[in-house]
Amino acid sequence: MQATPLQALTDNYIWTMDGADDQLLVVDPGEAGPVIDAAERHGRAPAAILLTHHHHDHIGGVPALLERWPNLPVWAPRDERIPFATHRVGDGDTVQTGAWRFEVITVPGHTDSHIAFHGHGVLFSGDTLFSLGCGRLFEGSPAQMLQSLDRLAGLPPQTLVCCGHEYTRSNASFALAVEPGNADLRKRSEEVERMRAQHRPTLPSTLASELACNPFLRIDAPQVRASLAGRVTPDQRDDRVALFAALRAWKDGFAG
């Protein structure tokens, strides 16, 4: 089953996945239009919606989709800020809908109730893991986000990372500032430049690529730690959470 990104809003991606009998799985529809257009263009109807978290740019299209297809199941985290969920799921639960089966992984950090879906060789990571980056800490702590990313890093390396935003180009600039000697990262950055010049999505990436290039998954890498040494106190230089917090704070203020 192939995951396909649909461009939405400014830089969001809605993800879709084909199933049997002209069915379509929809992930994080921030607006309805791209989903309706894709369904009509390919002669498919949405069969289910998966939601990773409550932010409007990931759920804003759901009411219009439910108006068009009233019986759609909506799988979402246990969060009352998503009022139209029909199935609430959390860590260790399984989503079984139509032809699809996903493991649910709770990944707090960006939001308290953020979840990810893993199945069919694909990770729908929402705003937790981006290509070459990670989400801002709007509700969670650095310790929570680090633990969430550590969990995702343990998935099979061939897993396709399908995240919620086209942030890869700006993330690459920061990653190169952190780890300028990383040859894999430099190669990925050059690939991203070519893709964006051709107006192509930089996603999905692979988890193997992220493990080799994404500084937020490389908090134990010597060059990442060396780059962070001046941003933590001497007694924090072996503290993974302190290092991660410093890395996220650096990214938050990074001008590019």
Out of 28, 54, 57, 114, the active site residue is 57
Sign of the alpha-carbon torsion through 251, 252, 254, 256:
positive
Out of 28, 54, 58, 79, the active site residue is 58
**Cis status, amide bond into 215, omega within 30 of 0:** no
Q: Tell me phi and psi for residue 175, to 5 degrees.
A: -60, -40
57 annotated active-site: yes
Out of 53, 54, 114, 118, the active site residue is 53
53 annotated active-site: yes
Q: HEC states along the chain?
A: CCEEEEEECCCEEEEEEECCCCEEEEECCCCCHHHHHHHHHHCCEEEEEECCCCCHHHHCCHHHHHHHCCCCCEEEECCCCCCCCCEEECCCCEEEECCEEEEEEECCCCCCCCEEEEECCEEEEECCEECCEECCCCCCCHHHHHHHHHHHHCCCCCCEEEECECCHHHHHHHHHHHCCCCHHHHHHHHHHHHHHHCCCCCCCEEHHHHHHHCHHHCCCCHHHHHHHHHHCCHHHCCCHHHHHHHHHHHHHCCCC
Out of 54, 110, 114, 118, the active site residue is 110
58 annotated active-site: yes
Out of 54, 114, 118, 165, the active site residue is 165
Out of 55, 79, 114, 118, the active site residue is 55
Contact 82, 54 (CB under 8 A): yes
Contact 86, 73 (CB under 8 A): yes
Instruction: List residues with catalytic annotation.
Output: 53, 55, 57-58, 110, 127, 165
